[in-house]
Structure 1
């Protein structure tokens, strides 16, 4: 997955987004498998907005798990915990992100401005 994302970004001449986007993708894919308990479908798209100067790279991770409320997963995590900070990283590294239900589960998306 990381190699695929890095190659796609290189093809779009967006090398500078590679580290952040591969970290985000790894977190979201891991969450899909760990918490959703199912394989994940990952898509990556470059969108040229009709208004404004910025292009947007959008990553989507979809699984057929039960879903979750992202608000409940962005609270402070006790220092002694070894897990629980992944979505805080996604929130910090992405320009925008969110979740939504699908017909078979849920979709988590993250966007980075190019």
Structure 2
């Protein structure tokens, strides 16, 4: 079930999403809505790109439902995607004609920093973006 949009003065938002392809579009929409409420719409394009990649990876590779969370700290947002697989994401080599293998490079390019933390039942892939800090364009 999806949580309501964050309050204007709220600092966190979290949603449980199913292990289904349509969850990726839902995640993008929720991120855009939360950022708009927080007055951080300038981060929407970059964070929706990162969220698309991380949620897709969780659905495809972890084959699990995910929890998407956003944590606002001033003009910065930390996003987290928790899944139920202990297998950490691994960058893949991608040639110019490859369809797959660029996801983590996209995450790195569109976030200020990112990483993975273990949890008792899987992992959390996290990423941070700050208004005006992303050099990739």
Structure 2: which 5+ runs fail to align? 1-26, 132-137
Instruction: Give the count of matched residue pairs.
Output: 105
Distance 1:26 1:47 in 2: 22
97, 104, 127: which one pairs with 1:87?
A: 104
- Alpha carbon RMSD of aligned pairs, Å? 1.3
Question: What SS is found at the alignment partner of 2:35?
Answer: helix
Give 1:108's aligned residue: 125
- Specify which structure has the bigger relative contact order, considering alpha-carbon pairs within 8 angstroms and separated by 6 or more residues: 1
> Match for 2:49 among 19, 23, 41?
23
Q: Which residue of 1 aligns with 2:21?
A: none
**1:36 and 1:63 in contact (8 A); partners too:** yes
Unaligned 5+ segments in structure 1 are: 49-54
Instruction: Describe how 1:28-39 pairs up with structure 2 within 5 A.
Output: 28-39=54-65
Task: Tell me what 1:64 maps to.
Answer: 84
- Aligned residue number for residue 8 of structure 1: 34
Moved beyond 4 Å, runs of 4+ = none
Q: Is the 8 A contact 1:99 1:109 kept in 2?
A: yes
Deviations 1:73-98 (A, max 9, x none): 1x642222111101100100100100
TM-score, normalization by structure 2 = 0.72
Higher percent of residues as helix:
1
Query: TM-score normalised to the size of structure 1?
Result: 0.85
